[in-house]
């Protein structure tokens, strides 16, 4: 079993790790009825102490977000939220504890700081594509209506 277990911190900035997974995904995972009582069982909090708490188990949002399949080979997972304004003149001191191995499959990692917009994160191209397709559909619909 693998889980992205890198950790990030920004000096003087709180990273909120709540609401990083889809609510429907969080509901999908449940700890078994005999959670913490089954002998000779290694639980998620045993494998990733400091990341997954004993109380959460598989309800941990970092775990749930990691388990969501990616539609594309490029995997981008939300780590947390910064709920304060970061000014352009402010220097950020970011500490990264790199734990997840990527050498075995020639992978790489990036830390992306972005802001949420009307179309979501930094993927404005998808929003523009939807607007373009909508406009084309409107034009084609109008053309069909005029010809009829």
Higher-pLDDT residue of 81, 141:
141
pLDDT of residue 140: 96
The arithmetic mean of pLDDT across residues 17-41, rounded, is: 90
| Chain segment 57-71, per-residue pLDDT in tens | 888 888 888 888 888
119 pLDDT band, cuts 50/70/90, is low
122 pLDDT band, cuts 50/70/90, is low
* Residue recorded with tokens 């009307």: 118
Task: Please report the DSSP string for 36-98 in residue order.
Answer: TTSTT---HHHHSTTTS-TTTGGG-HHHHHHHSPPSSSS------B--SPPPTT----EEEE-
Higher-pLDDT residue of 75, 37:
37
Neighbours of 28 (CB within 10 A): 13
pLDDT of residue 118: 67
pLDDT of residue 107: 81
């Amino acid at each position: 079993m693998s889980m992205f277990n890198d950790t990030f911190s920004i000096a003087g900035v709180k990273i909120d790790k709540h609401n990083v997974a889809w609510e429907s995904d969080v509901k999908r995972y449940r700890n078994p009825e005999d959670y913490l009582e089954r002998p000779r069982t290694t639980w998620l909090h045993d494998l990733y102490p400091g990341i997954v708490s004993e109380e959460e188990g598989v309800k941990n949002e970092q775990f749930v977000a990691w388990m969501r399949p990616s539609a594309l080979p490029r995997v981008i997972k939300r780590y947390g939220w910064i709920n304060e304004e970061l000014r352009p003149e402010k220097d950020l001191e970011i500490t990264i504890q790199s734990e997840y191995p990527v050498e075995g499959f020639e992978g790489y990692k990036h830390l992306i700081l972005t802001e949420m917009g009307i179309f979501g994160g930094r993927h404005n191209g998808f929003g523009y594509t939807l607007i373009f397709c909508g406009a084309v559909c409107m034009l084609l619909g109008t053309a069909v209506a005029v010809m009829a």
